[in-house]
């Protein structure tokens, strides 16, 4: 299960989501500017307040950390 | 291995320099901490000729891909910490390696100025933010402080009024420096409190930011305000310490260049926002990068 916590205005959120789409990875897109409960959940679970945050099967990655995300998604030979 | 040219920086200036240098068939290495820099924070760029509107990130991505289509060596995620000249050649050092070249272009741009106060680093991402565009919605119904009462600070506050319950704007000087019309707009929201003569001293909290301490310069009294977020917008700064042995810096730390991008050291050029040119725009930085590469090409040609 992959969830992306984002806001509509954050450039790296767009980059992250495009990256997932380019790699045909399905994800649930959560807009924390609209969903306060989800925002609180993201802050509690990631221990910080910045977006984007990606939840990859329970593991939270803060920011567009391409290396870590690739590793967790087991995307080894991609751009 | 001695390169013809090393370019330090991967923003519009460095990338344009890279394209020009590669097309001039210089044996070139580009070393950068990241791609883009300031421009990656821009949601929309509408003044890059040929493209009506594009996000800063996409523009940089296209520029980078364009450059990589040429023959050029690249080291990413590397921060240059020292630049020196030994005899005719330059040495460029990052945290892991040292490289040598006959000419160098410094194009590492500017970064957000920091306050250097206790709590600033500790609470980064835990209430302290440098990107209001990204993080403003997280502060829905919360109280926040914006440090810096210039136009950038006002812009940050405008992003925040949609979400935050209360916004303090703190300014060091007697008066807010931002545009009076924007100030009026902010005042009309009745959410904004303007505080002048404020020296920021500490950001406090446990897990997240809880308060901010500032000194009132008029009364020399310390005051504490309860806030959940602190947005720092006190301008940008050039970070050219690694090059100080070889360049002249102006009083705000920018590298002094002549009209052809020469620094005071022969063979060392600089381009873009890290230099003392007046206007800081993507198209100008790219132009400056191109100029520096052409000047470096000419310099290397003369040496042969």
Q: Assign residue B187 a region: left if phi > 0, alpha if psi is -120 to 50, beta otherwise?
A: alpha
Which CATH number belongs to the domain containing residue A29 in this structure? 3.40.30.10
pLDDT band at B137 (very low <50, low <70, confident <90, very high): confident
**Residue-level pLDDT at B294:** 98
Is residue A19 one of the residues assigned to a domain? yes
**Residue-level pLDDT at B200:** 97
Residue A19 has pLDDT above 80, yes or no: yes
Is residue A76 one of the residues assigned to a domain? no
Query: Where is average pLDDT lowest: B9-13, B123-127, B189-193, B297-301?
Result: B123-127
Residue ranges and CATH numbers for the domains of chain B are 2-112+236-303 (3.50.50.60), 128-232 (3.50.50.60)
> Scanning every residue of chain B, which has its alpha carbon at the shortest distance from the alpha carbon of A18?
B58
CA distance B8 to B92: 9
Tens of pLDDT, residue by residue over A49-68, are: 889 999 999 999 998 888 88
**Residue-level pLDDT at A76:** 60
Residue A66 at interface with chain B, using a CB cutoff of 8 Å: no
Interface of B with A (CB under 8 A): 40-43, 55-57, 125-127, 129, 131, 133-138, 140, 159, 163, 207-208, 229
pTM: 0.80
Number of domains in chain A: 1
Q: How far is B225 from chain A (nearest CA, A)?
A: 20
Q: Is B88 a catalytic residue?
A: no
Is residue A45 one of the residues assigned to a domain? yes
Residue A15 at interface with chain B, using a CB cutoff of 8 Å: yes
Tens of pLDDT, residue by residue over A20-35, are: 998 999 999 999 988 8
A51 CB neighbours in chain B (<8 A) are: 134-135, 138
Among the listed residues B5, B254, B298, the one whose alpha carbon sits nearest the alpha carbon of residue B108:
B254
Q: Is B258 a catalytic residue?
A: no
Long-range contacts of B193-199 (CB under 8 A, 24+ apart): B193/B166, B193/B167, B193/B168, B193/B169, B194/B149, B194/B169, B195/B168, B195/B169, B195/B170, B195/B171, B196/B149, B196/B171, B197/B171, B197/B172, B197/B173, B198/B170, B198/B171, B198/B172, B199/B172
Is residue A43 one of the residues assigned to a domain? yes
Q: Which two tokens stand for residue A57?
A: 């099967």
Is residue A64 one of the residues assigned to a domain? yes
Domain that includes residue A44, residue range: 2-71
Q: In chain B, pLDDT over 70 holds for what percent of residues? A: 100
CA distance B167 to B186: 10
Among the listed residues B219, B6, B231, the one whose alpha carbon sits nearest the alpha carbon of residue B102:
B6
Tens of pLDDT, residue by residue over B175-212, are: 999 999 999 999 999 999 999 999 999 999 999 999 99
Q: Do B208 and A49 touch (CB under 8 A)?
A: yes
Backbone φ and ψ for B118, nearest 5 degrees, come out as -60, 140
Residue A79 has pLDDT above 70, yes or no: no
Q: How far is B160 from chain A (nearest CA, A)?
A: 12
Is residue A77 one of the residues assigned to a domain? no
ipTM tops the 0.90 cut: no
For A11, the closest of B56, B137, B159 (CB atoms) is B56
Is residue A41 one of the residues assigned to a domain? yes
Q: Which two tokens stand for residue B33?
A: 């901490």
Q: How far is A29 from chain B (nearest CA, A)?
A: 15
- Calculate mean pLDDT across residues B202-228: 96
**Residue-level pLDDT at B37:** 85
Choosing from B58, B134, B179, B260, which is the catalytic residue?
Answer: B134
For residue A54, with 0-12 CB atoms within 10 Å meaning exposed, 13-18 middle and 19 or more buried, which class applies? buried
CA distance B169 to A2: 38
Is residue A78 one of the residues assigned to a domain? no
């Amino acid at each position: 299960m992959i969830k992306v916590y984002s806001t509509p205005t954050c450039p790296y959120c767009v980059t992250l989501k495009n990256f997932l789409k380019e790699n045909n990875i399905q994800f649930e897109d959560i807009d924390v500017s609209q969903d306060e409960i989800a925002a609180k959940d993201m802050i509690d679970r990631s221990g910080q307040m910045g977006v984007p945050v990606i939840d990859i099967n329970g593991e939270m990655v803060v920011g567009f950390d391409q290396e870590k995300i690739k590793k967790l998604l087991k995307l080894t030979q991609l751009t | 291995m001695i390169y013809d040219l090393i370019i330090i920086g991967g923003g519009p200036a460095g990338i344009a320099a890279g394209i020009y240098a590669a097309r001039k068939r210089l044996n070139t290495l580009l070393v950068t901490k990241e791609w883009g820099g300031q421009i990656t924070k821009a949601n929309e760029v509408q003044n890059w000729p040929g493209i009506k509107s594009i996000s800063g990130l996409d523009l940089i991505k296209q520029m980078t891909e364009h450059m990589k289509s040429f023959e050029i060596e690249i080291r990413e995620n590397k921060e240059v910490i020292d630049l020196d000249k030994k005899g005719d050649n330059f040495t460029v050092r990052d945290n892991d390696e040292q490289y040598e070249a006959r000419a160098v272009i410094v194009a590492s741009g500017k970064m957000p100025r920091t306050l250097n106060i206790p709590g600033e680093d500790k609470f980064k991402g835990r209430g302290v933010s440098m990107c209001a565009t990204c993080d403003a919605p997280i502060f829905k119904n919360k109280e926040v402080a914006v440090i810096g009462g210039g136009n950038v600070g006002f812009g940050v506050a405008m992003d925040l009024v949609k979400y935050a319950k209360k916004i303090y704007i703190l300014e060091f000087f007697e008066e807010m420096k931002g545009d009076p019309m924007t100030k009026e707009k902010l005042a009309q929201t009745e959410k904004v409190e303007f505080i002048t003569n404020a020296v920021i001293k500490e950001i406090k909290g446990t897990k997240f930011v809880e308060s901010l301490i500032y000194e009132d310069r008029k009364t020399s009294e310390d005051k504490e305000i309860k806030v959940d977020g602190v947005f720092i917008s006190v301008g940008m700064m050039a970070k050219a310490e690694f090059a100080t042995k070889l360049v002249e810096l102006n009083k705000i730390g920018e590298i002094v260049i002549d009209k052809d991008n020469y620094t005071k050291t022969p063979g060392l050029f600089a381009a873009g926002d890290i230099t003392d040119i007046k206007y800081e725009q993507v198209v100008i930085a790219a132009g400056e990068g191109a100029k520096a590469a052409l000047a470096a090409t000419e310099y290397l040609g003369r040496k042969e």
